[in-house]
Amino acid sequence: MLLTQFPNIHWLRAQANANFSDQRGVDNTPLLEKGWPNVILNTESGPTERGDIKGPFSLFLNIRGSSRIQSEGKIMSLNEDTFGITNFGQHYDLIIPANTSATTFNVHFGEQLYFETLQSVLTTQQYQLDNFSHDNQEGPNFFTRTHFRRREFNRIITRLKDLYRYPQPREEQGEDEEILLSELLIHLIRQGERDRAGLKNIRSLKRSTQDELMKRLLLAVDYIHDNYHHEVSIDQLSRICCLSKFHFLRTFKEAFGCTPGQYWRSLRLQKAEELLEKTSWPVNDIALAVGFAEVNSFIRFFTQRQEKSPTSFRKERISNFG
């Protein structure tokens, strides 16, 4: 179900707290079953604050502009390159700051789709999640953090947006929507699995210490996501985590399999690739957008990692997809 306006907040809180037990959606639309339905909120909004909403498993992202999601005592600052997740049954606040506006594409996964997809994933040989069993009524618990929008994620989101851009018969659209939402959910579950694997790699005898260290490291990750187009120093990041520089570097590599600098540079490279593929911006402008004051420094950075210049990369991608 696609909504292009935020529903009335008082109605939404009441329905969420009652778990949609009356099987009624926006404008009294009948729902096929109890529990949260699948809802995509593709809205254009000015400053707003929608607080204390008990949600299903939810994904928050902005096609344009920025927003904040507050949940479990943590604030996720989201821009056009990042997204955030809240867990099933978690309360959240959505804030679009004063003097700004945003176009959202927030996905609230319906309860039935969520648990059916989890069940299908859990019955495969490849997947085991620490804090989930078939008797668990809430599902896996994901870290409250920002995620950088990677290529595969963007591909699924584009297909989902196209589904609503090019109308189909209602029944066919509903089937395609469920397929794409299930694909997106599996992608997010895999991301959660990688976080949990990283957590296990942190050298500590106590699980509580691992959890605390991971939460601190994710503060640094969130900061890198917000500032990848600026210089980011190890001193800054270790202070954000309240860890010594040595402890921060060692623990970050244990959790994420790379150094903070490697992680930061990978984001700059990915964003540069995206801009070269999807825009006609001059290379000078792309260099500035990903944080290089001099275009020659950007060309060297890109060529060393891709073994081709930005211009050659762009021509190759255009010929492949044109």
> pLDDT by residue (tens digit) across 223-277?
999 999 998 899 999 999 999 999 999 999 999 999 999 999 999 999 999 999 8
Predicted TM-score (pTM) of this structure: 0.87
Checking if the pLDDT of 125 tops 60, the result is: no
Q: Check whether residue 107 and residue 243 sit in a common domain.
A: no
Mean residue pLDDT of the chain comes to 88
Q: Check whether residue 227 and residue 184 sit in a common domain.
A: no
Q: Check whether residue 208 and residue 154 sit in a common domain.
A: no
The pLDDT value given to residue 168: 65
- Listed in order, strand segments (DSSP E) in the chain are 2-3, 39-41, 44-45, 48-54, 58-65, 67-71, 74-78, 82-86, 91-96, 102-104, 106-108, 146-148
Contact 92, 42 (CB under 8 A): no
Q: Check whether residue 177 and residue 315 sit in a common domain.
A: no
Residue type, position 295, single letter: V
Which tens digits make up the pLDDT trace of 39-79?
Answer: 999 999 999 999 999 999 999 999 999 999 999 888 999 99
Checking if the pLDDT of 34 tops 90, the result is: no
Number of residues in the chain: 322
Checking if the pLDDT of 311 tops 70, the result is: yes
Cα separation, 67 vs 61, in Å, equals 8
The pLDDT value given to residue 136: 47
Q: Check whether residue 276 and residue 252 sit in a common domain.
A: no
Rounded to an integer, the average pLDDT of 94-111 is: 93
The burial of 3, by beta-carbon neighbours within 10 Å (0-12 exposed, 13-18 middle, 19 or more buried), is given as middle
The pLDDT value given to residue 309: 93
Structural domains of the chain, count: 3
CATH number, position 295: 1.10.10.60
Q: Check whether residue 214 and residue 298 sit in a common domain.
A: no
Domain of residue 225 covers 202-257
Q: Check whether residue 33 and residue 167 sit in a common domain.
A: yes
Cα separation, 293 vs 231, in Å, equals 11
The pLDDT value given to residue 177: 87
Rounded to an integer, the average pLDDT of 112-126 is: 76
The burial of 8, by beta-carbon neighbours within 10 Å (0-12 exposed, 13-18 middle, 19 or more buried), is given as exposed
Which tens digits make up the pLDDT trace of 126-176?
Answer: 444 444 444 445 567 888 899 999 889 999 999 999 888 876 666 656 678
Q: Check whether residue 179 and residue 207 sit in a common domain.
A: no
Rounded to an integer, the average pLDDT of 97-124 is: 87
How far is CA 243 from each of CA 47, 237, 248, rounded to the nearest angstrom?
36, 9, 6
Residue where a domain terminates, one of 166, 181, 197: 197
Residue where a domain terminates, one of 175, 197, 219: 197
The pLDDT value given to residue 81: 94
Rounded to an integer, the average pLDDT of 93-108 is: 94
How far is CA 157 from each of CA 163, 201, 308, 312, rounded to the nearest angstrom?
10, 31, 29, 27
Task: Tokens for 129, please give them.
Answer: 């999640």
Q: Check whether residue 25 and residue 165 sit in a common domain.
A: yes
Q: Check whether residue 16 and residue 157 sit in a common domain.
A: yes
The pLDDT value given to residue 288: 94
Residue 271 sits at φ, ψ, to 5 deg, of -65, -40
Cα separation, 312 vs 50, in Å, equals 46
Residue 44 sits at φ, ψ, to 5 deg, of -110, 120
CATH number, position 67: 2.60.120.280
Cβ partners under 8 Å of residue 268, min gap 6: 228, 229, 290, 291, 301
The pLDDT value given to residue 47: 93
Q: Check whether residue 238 and residue 280 sit in a common domain.
A: no
